[in-house]
Amino acid sequence: MAREQPKKNPYIAGTTRYNMKKIERVLFVGSKQLGLNCLKTMYSLSKETLVGAVTFDDSADGRGKLADFKAFCSQHKIPLFVAKNRADAEKIIQAQRADIGIVVGWYWLIGNETLNSVPHGLLGIHNSLLPKYRGGSPLIWSIINGEKKVGFSMFSFTEGMDEGDVWFQYKFEMKPKDDIQSVLEKFDTGAIELLKKYYKKILSGELKPKAQKHQEATYCAQRKPEDGRIDWSKPADAIFNFIRAQSQPYPGAFTTHKNKKLLIWKATLNPETYYGTPGQVARISPDGVTVICGDSKSITLKEIEYEGEKMAANTLIKTINARFHYSQPLTSEIAENLDLPEIKKKLAAYINEAQ
């Protein structure tokens, strides 16, 4: 028996859909500070169309703003729904019968049935200049790849991965001093600026989205914390980008020092040429710890974290005999599965035989 295909929402089939139904009911879906700022902006611009807000309990996350959402919605008599899980969230979204939804800071997938229940669709922010960098961790990949300009897109959710029409985009040029934290701060400012500029035009139908050029799309694979390991054989500018792409609030780029993880939060790129082994410490100065990279250029480590303590790099690394290697350290998980005393016994026997 053939599998039944999901029904497509006629309102999200092409750009002409947005004239088919007047937008009178808007639902906010999201969390975190940017989500709260967007909700406040939506309320200030068109409080009469805002029918409610959907969030979730992220109190365990240091960035969570659930208490602030509750306070704001209570003050302005906005119905607030705190979803227990993804299924609960979808039921809530469908039940509100909104004409359109604005999604900011949402971490659960939204299924086709829910997408199709909202006539003008759900609009969300993707941290890339679509159609480039569709998928996971787009801003990290953009910075790793040395993109000169980065930005975000407000687009319509569809069944495909980040394939929906684009309503507006925000972009700016990366500066040498920028890292992912400073970029995200600029994104937050830009999101509110553009929401103020375009939100009422979306509701009135004055603003129409544009279809993406799908033939130009690129895609990002999901990243894990262990993907942050630095390969010192790469050029210095690539390592510099790699570090600043994963700085706080992300897990961080790292290397190993005395078989323990050393996180690098801030570094600078140097113009001088240093001949040596990639990963070798070439210089220690009041400015930091200079490390040779694969192209005989170098970076200077500024802020690091070692054994849970953040510090200046030159307070930990005090000798140019230090070397950072790409080899995988022995983790506690691996060690638990090894019979270390037996391995040491066999190694000692092997050395004796060799002598």
DSSP run (H or E) holding 35? helix 32-46
pLDDT in tens, 199-219: 999 999 999 999 999 999 999
Is residue 88 assigned to a domain? yes
Domain that holds residue 141: 10-219
Give the bridge partners for 123, in sequence order: 102, 156
Helix-helix angle 32-46:66-75, to 10 degrees: 10
Do 26 and 171 fall within a single domain?
yes
Confidence class of residue 63 from pLDDT cuts 50, 70 and 90?
A: confident
What does the block give as tokens for 94? 């469908």
Q: What pLDDT, on a 0 to 100 scale, did the predictor assign at position 329?
A: 43
Together in a domain, 17 and 126:
yes
Beta bridge partners of 103: 29, 124
Give bridge partners of residue 154 from the DSSP assignment.
Answer: 125, 168
Same domain for 155 and 236?
no
pLDDT given at position 80: 96
Q: Taking Cα atoms as reference points, which of 326, 310, 212 lies closest to residue 278?
A: 326
Residue 22 sits in the same domain as residue 126:
yes
15 or 305, greater pLDDT: 305
pLDDT at 325: 76
Looking at the structure, tell me whether residues 120 and 17 fall in a common domain.
yes
The model carries a pTM of: 0.82
pLDDT of amino acid 351: 53
How confident is residue 333, by pLDDT bands cut at 50, 70 and 90?
A: very low
Q: Are residues 190 and 296 in the same domain?
A: no
Q: Is residue 295 part of a domain?
A: yes
For 150-193, how does the pLDDT look when each residue is reduced to its tens digit (9 = 90+)? Answer: 999 999 999 888 999 999 999 999 998 999 999 999 999 999 99
| Residue at a domain's end among 219, 252, 276 | 219
User: Does residue 323 fall inside a structural domain?
Assistant: yes
Query: Average pLDDT of 316-330?
Result: 77
CATH number at residue 189: 3.40.50.12230
In the predicted structure, residue 303 carries a pLDDT above the cut 90: yes
Q: What per-residue confidence (pLDDT) applies to 22?
A: 77
Burial state string for 75-103 with b = 16 or more CB within 10 A and e = fewer than 16:
eeebebbbbeeeeebbebbeebebbbbbb
- pLDDT above 70 as % of the chain: 86
**Domain match, 208 and 283 both:** no
Where is pLDDT greater, at 35 or 329? Answer: 35
Q: Is residue 68 part of a domain?
A: yes
pLDDT digits (tens, 9 = 90+) for 100-145: 999 998 988 899 999 999 999 999 999 999 999 999 999 999 999 9
| Domain stops at, among 165, 192, 219 | 219
Alpha-carbon distance of 181 to 165, in angstroms, equals 27
In a domain, 352, yes or no: no
Question: What's at 221, amino acid-wise?
Answer: A
Q: How many separate domains does the chain show?
A: 2
- Average pLDDT on 36-51 reads 96
263, β-bridge pairs? 254, 305
Number of helices (H), then strands (E), belonging to the chain: the values are 10, 15
Instruction: Give the C-alpha separation, 41 to 34, whole Å.
Output: 10
Q: Are residues 291 and 317 in the same domain?
A: yes
Q: What is the pLDDT of residue 32?
A: 92
> Based on the domain organization, do 51 and 147 belong to the same domain?
yes
Could you tell me which residues are beta bridge partners of residue 92?
none
In sequence order, the 6+-apart residues with CB closer than 8 A to the CB of 51 are: 25, 26, 27, 79, 96, 98
Average pLDDT of the chain to the nearest whole number: 88
Distance CA 104, CA 120 (A): 17
- With 60 as the cut, is the pLDDT of residue 13 above it? no
195 pLDDT band, cuts 50/70/90, is very high
Same domain for 212 and 257? no
Q: What is the mean pLDDT of residues 267-280?
A: 95
Q: Is the residue at 177 inside a domain?
A: yes
Cα of first residue to Cα of last residue in the chain, in angstroms, is 71
What percent of the chain has a predicted confidence (pLDDT) above 90?
77
Angle in degrees, CA 228, 230, 235, rounded to 5: 130
- Residue 321, domain CATH: 3.10.25.10
Provide the pLDDT for residue 350: 53
DSSP 137-188: SHHHHHHHTT-SEEEEEEEE--SSTT-SPEEEEEEEE--TT--HHHHHHHHH
Among 163, 189, 219, the domain-final residue is 219
Statement to judge: residues 157 and 17 lie in one domain: yes
The answer to whether residue 211 sits within a structural domain is: yes
Are residue 204 and residue 251 in the same domain, yes or no? Answer: no
Confidence category of residue 342, pLDDT binned at 50, 70, 90: low
